[in-house]
Chain A
Amino acid sequence: MAIHQNCEGMNRRDCMKLGLGALLGGGLVDALRARGSAGDTTAAKTSCILFWLDGGPSHFETFDPKPDAPAEIRGEFKPIPTKVPGMFFSENMTKLAAIGDKLTIVRSVRHDQNNHGAGNHYMMTGAPTRIPVGCGAFVSFHPSMGSVVSAERGAAHGLPAYFSIPEMSRSGGPNFLGARHAPFVVSDDPNGASFTVRDVTIPRELDDGRALNRRELREKLDQFKRFHDRAAGDPVLSADDNYRQAVSIMTSAEAQRAFEIYREPDRVRTAFGRTALGQRALLARRLVEAGVPFVTIVNGGWDHHSDIFPAFRKHGQEMESVVAALISDLDQRGLLDTTLVLVMGEFGRSPKISTLSGSKTPGRDHWSSAISVLAAGCRTPRGQVVGATDRSGYAPIEKIYGPENLVSSVYLKLGINPDKTLYNSTGRPTHLVSDPRPIAELMG
């Protein structure tokens, strides 16, 4: 870790953390030691791929069908059996149904933030917003799961530890953990012929020889004086470390392979689907293989106030086939044991089908009282349903969990103590998750 020279070179959070760490009986040295000794347990090799279905996917049309409910609730689709006896999905989830024996469905997550801004925040960080926010809000009051994982775990080969593809989700930021734990966003379409991951690869128009020449030239011209005594805290030394790490990402075959999606056999690329979403999932798998512990795939368009049934026939099927391909692929490679795949959004959808004024087709509205979450991998028991909602899908009636429990489960699986105390930018101690109890059924 870089030894910062002063508070300008050290961000405020570090300052506070070190200052307050002393209160708890240690000083700078202890704090540094604590960081250095981040355990090398099996949990340290685990990762998470989060499919973030922005807008709030319907639980009825995915994993919690209600065939016995009245027509204005049950909708157009029928339940289908899955590979697990007694577990039923909605009819468009055919590929996931076929691998139902690899999945856990939690049908009983709920919270009370019924708009996109607040719901996003709650599910993505495990903390409700500090003040009420509106539907369109992009807010951050607490670090997102990915940023926490970046801060607590880091990644191999100097790779960024938290990727978000193709954009950052609304509340996917680092908050007080600071910019270096912001997600590394890969916006380009990996399905495109000339796809590269920005910045980590040499620009397309340069050949390798020229890039190497440039770096050699830089070495020659870099005459800036370094103050090598560590006590002087020269920030240029840490910039040098960053440079070496950057070059190692660019030149390490292992790191580069993570981005070179074209190396995948056609068979595999086709299995994921030759769409932007499919190839993003494949890229996520390659990143996880290379040692990245957290990848979010942001997929929008799940706010189905109208047109919900046609949308699930198309978008729903596309999503489920990509997720199924990802999980099957991870399983074949033996990576599912160490990779958690999560599929969720900010909330579920209202039981009553509605047609809002101004729209011609029916849909469902926001419903945070019942949320279905798909989880697979990383020692999550295979082939089970956790919890249940009432016969009309209004609310969970057993094994009721909040976003806190879900997020705590993710942290535990990734080797992070959800009961940890963090210090925010004002130096205030903040629980990583206010209720650190995991969803026991996910923990295996």
Chain B
Amino acid sequence: MRSQKQFAGCLFALLAVIGAGADGIAAEPVRPADVAAPAKPVTFEFDVQPLLTRFGCNAGACHGKSRGQNGFALSLLGFDADFDYDALIHEGRGRRIFPSTPEYSLLLRKPSGQMPHGGGKRFDIDSPQYRLLYAWIKAGAPRTPADAPKLLCVVVEPGNRSLVRQESLQLRVLAEYSDGTRRDVTDGSAFQSNDGTLAGVDANGLVKAGELPGEAAIMARYMNNIAVCAVTIPVPGAVPAEAYRTLPRHNHIDELVWQKLKLLGILPSAPAGDATFHRRAYLRAIGRLPTPEETRAFLADHRPDKRVRLIDQLLERPEYADFWANKWADLLRPNPYRAGIKAVWNLDSWLRAAFRKNMPYDQFVRELITAQGSTWHNGAAVIFRDRPEPVELGASISQLFLGTRLECAKCHHHPFEVWGQDDFFGFAAFFARVGHKGQGLSPPISGGEEMIYTTETGQLKHGRTGATVTPKLLAGAPLTLGPNDDPREALAEWMTSPDNPFFAKVMANRIWKDVMGQGLVEPVDDLRATNPPSNGPLLDALAEDFRKQGYDIKKLIREIMASYVFSLSTEPNPRNVADLKNFSRYYRDRMRAEVLLDAVNDVLGTEETFAAMPPGSRATQLWTHRSPSLFLDTFSRPDPNLDPPCERSSDCTTPQVLHLMNSPALSRKLSLETARPAKLAANKDSNEKIVEEIYLLAYCRYPTDVEKKTAVAVLTASGNRRRAVEDLFWAILNTPEFLFID
């Protein structure tokens, strides 16, 4: 027996040397000093899998990626216990575990640094984890019995907490099981902060506040269960309660924002002046600059309710529909080279009509999701032409309208969410009976007409198991639907029902972002416990309000614009300078591409010529991103080559600045005979008047005395008035005051 053991030892040492390669001779494997069996048997699902997750073994960058790492593949974050068990026990020629001599198991030697390991040393030989794995292997690597208590949820303690700068906080994670027991699983949990600069967290759950005031969400993950703890770091120094009590409250939005600011010790900025408010309201409500006449009239108006009146007027303007439909076109618009020109144009018209009518949002979504009929007659049906596969539809519709990113769960359990593959396929199965008749996709022309209808049969197969999937609502039970029930109707009914937890919130958040420049949740279509809103009560209230008002989009926009918060200045004060997400001030934002192009033309009195559009069309009226425009490409529109086009950035880039300064097209516009510079220069107005007009056109305000003096001096000094006026326009269009919504 003894000699046999020695032989085995030699053999394994030899193997270890081979494994160690150039690193030389590996040390003798180590057996933990304390090999006493734990009180309860150590089993795979209950004890071992959590460790694989905790140490990142099954992370996407390591063995969790689909092709594994160096021949060893685990399921991502341990969503597939059978697969992982098989990988450990049977694959790798059985070298991963040796029950007779556990210390020779690769599962122990590699992560404890006794053998070269691409992932480095993950734990010490004398750590409890090493001991636990050792005991498990020694016991013959048992699985957790099927009747063992099931993990129900995890809780993180303490709950939400306020910290001062540099303060630390140890989190504790408790798992709750179906037999009512609780277990401290802090050791087996992974932690993540959503803002490491505000508050970081280490691998053991120790939170440390940084230097800046603000708020961070710390996520603890134990297996596929997640708990979140919010950490608040208020601005140092006390603010008298009086300061908050006396703040204006136009509506409930203000109250909820002030409550949050109070928690963080932040004070809001002063309100913006009339001219700033006026320009901001135009750009946010209808995506265009006010004309000089409109600005003059607003500034001269002394009625106390003039701001609310302005908001009401703007929302009735025809530009409203084009501007807001454009935002949805970004999300839904297919590539005409894929879906066909007529179909894409048709969807675009449908969107514009919906916003012209102020179609209630629940109806808007219901009409889209349940669309039937010809892609040449019902624009809404085109989304089914563009995305014929149930899995594509499931992923995009859950993300667009429910803010739930199921895409990850197509192949594996969502890493930061409760969703698994069953949820993904269950949701996609609602689209398994979308029928297509007529001419399908035939790029590059795809010109044909297609009929979308609901078939009586049609099945979706589960991506992993291959089983037929029954439609299943998110966080709900599978539905039984007969051949005469339309699954899409059932889905639409659930989505738009008053108790749907996602529907109203997602749209309220989108609209908040469109008006305020930033979402309460970012990205706007990623609502989940681990990505909490910066102001939860406010988002809840907005959603509730939206629902109660019959999903009236204009009313929601009006509510937000009428709040005092919307009117705040962008200029920070000492107590809110670091606040980037609680709306204690308005946040500056560059005009988006179409709005900016229209603004340039409005200022210069010029028109754009777009392919496949009538003369005089505005950029916000374009029906496809494929319409060539160097200007729009430079300032970013959804990538016309992206399929589907959905990304747009408001980054400032050097090519953008260069384009505004030097582009031949803009240069031509500045000097056109029919453009405003030439016309202004030619009439008999005084230089003062010309300067005032330029300021009103581009900045939508009167020039200050100093500005007027500087600009008039330029005109007076120049021997060529027209050139001087052109230069003035050029200079103003190239300043950030023109480019930004302030």
Contact = CB atoms under 8 A, between A and B. Distances in A.
B736 A239 contact: yes
A321 B647 CA distance: 41
A136 interface: yes
B195 A28 contact: yes
Contact of A137 (B337, B408, B639): B337
A6 interface: yes
A11 B651 contact: yes
A229 B662 contact: no
A383 interface: no
Contact of B642 (A136, A140, A213): A140
A29 B590 CA distance: 25
B651 A178 contact: yes
Interface string A236-265: 101110110110011000000000000000
Contacts of B196: 21-22, 26-30
A6 B405 contact: no
Contacts of B526: 427
A67 B326 CA distance: 58
A333 interface: no
A425 B662 contact: no
A16 B735 contact: no
**Which secondary structure characterizes the binding site on chain B?**
loop
A200 B657 CA distance: 10
Given A199-B662, A203-B662, A236-B740, A134 B522 contact: no
Nearest to B647: A425
Contact of A19 (B194, B578, B731, B742): B194
Interface stretch (A167-175, A303-311, A340-348, A350-358): A167-175
Contacts of A361: none
A43 interface: no
A440 interface: no
Interface string B169-210: 000000000000000000000001111110010010000000
Contact of B444 (A136, A140, A180, A231): A136
Contacts of B707: 221, 223
A98 interface: no
Contacts of A19: 194, 531
A222 B577 contact: no
B127 interface: no
A30 B648 CA distance: 26
B589 interface: yes
Nearest to B444: A136
Contacts of A232: 572, 577-578
Nearest to A203: B667
A231 B548 CA distance: 39
Contact of A158 (B197, B654, B737): B654
B731 A7 contact: no
A431 B570 CA distance: 40
A229 B642 CA distance: 37
B587 A224 contact: no
Contact of A7 (B337, B519, B642, B727): B519
B654 A137 contact: no
A245 B531 CA distance: 36
B226 to A, nearest CB: 12
Nearest to B666: A203
A27 B662 contact: no
A27 B405 CA distance: 23
Contacts of A95: none
B467 to A, nearest CB: 23
B580 A5 contact: yes
A176 B639 CA distance: 9
Given A8-B589, A133-B443, A198-B664, A16 B581 contact: no
Interface size bracket, B side = 35 or more
B737 A223 contact: yes
Nearest to A235: B588
B633 interface: yes
A233 to B, nearest CB: 6
A9 interface: yes
A438 B306 CA distance: 67
Contacts of A134: 338, 441-444
Contacts of B633: 179, 182
B447 to A, nearest CB: 12
B518 A199 contact: no
Given A24-B61, A175-B639, A229-B577, A136 B728 contact: no
A97 to B, nearest CB: 37
B731 A218 contact: yes
A249 B654 contact: yes
Contacts of A222: 731, 735-737
B652 A429 contact: no
B662 A198 contact: yes
Contact of B658 (A137, A235, A246): A246
A422 to B, nearest CB: 12
A22 B194 contact: yes
B162 interface: no
Nearest to B590: A235
Contacts of B643: 133, 137, 139-141
Given A198-B663, A202-B662, A242 B731 contact: no
B327 interface: no
B647 A9 contact: no
A35 interface: no
A220 interface: yes
Contacts of B571: 225, 227
B158 to A, nearest CB: 21
Contact of A220 (B646, B649, B659, B710): B710
Contacts of A175: 639, 642
A267 B742 CA distance: 54
A218 B657 CA distance: 13
A140 B641 contact: yes
Contacts of B153: none
Contacts of B577: 227, 229, 231-232
A238 B399 CA distance: 31
B480 to A, nearest CB: 31
A193 interface: no
A221 B735 contact: yes
Given A5-B580, A139-B643, A214-B731, A250 B736 contact: no
A217 B654 contact: no
Contacts of B655: 160, 180, 184, 199
A201 interface: yes
Interface in B300-343: 335, 337-338
A429 B653 CA distance: 26
A361 B648 CA distance: 46
B445 interface: yes
Contacts of A221: 707, 710-711, 728, 731-732, 735
A193 B714 CA distance: 35
A258 B654 CA distance: 17
Interface in B394-415: 399, 405, 407-408
Interface in B435-453: 441-445
B522 A7 contact: yes
Interface in B507-522: 513, 517-519, 522
Interface in B665-679: 667, 671
A15 B523 contact: yes
B696 to A, nearest CB: 14
Contacts of B558: none
Q: Closest 6 CB pairs between A and B?
A: A27-B196, A136-B444, A134-B443, A7-B522, A11-B649, A179-B636
Interface of B: 60-61, 65, 192-197, 200, 203, 212, 335, 337-338, 389, 392, 399, 405, 407-408, 441-445, 513, 517-519, 522-523, 526, 531, 570-572, 577-578, 580-581, 587-590, 630, 633, 636, 639-643, 646-659, 661-664, 667, 671, 704, 707, 710-711, 714, 723, 727-728, 730-732, 734-737, 739-740, 742
21 contacts: A5-B587, A9-B587, A27-B195, A28-B195, A131-B389, A133-B643, A134-B443, A172-B641, A179-B651, A198-B664, A210-B727, A217-B714, A223-B704, A231-B578, A232-B572, A236-B588, A236-B736, A236-B740, A242-B652, A425-B646, A427-B405
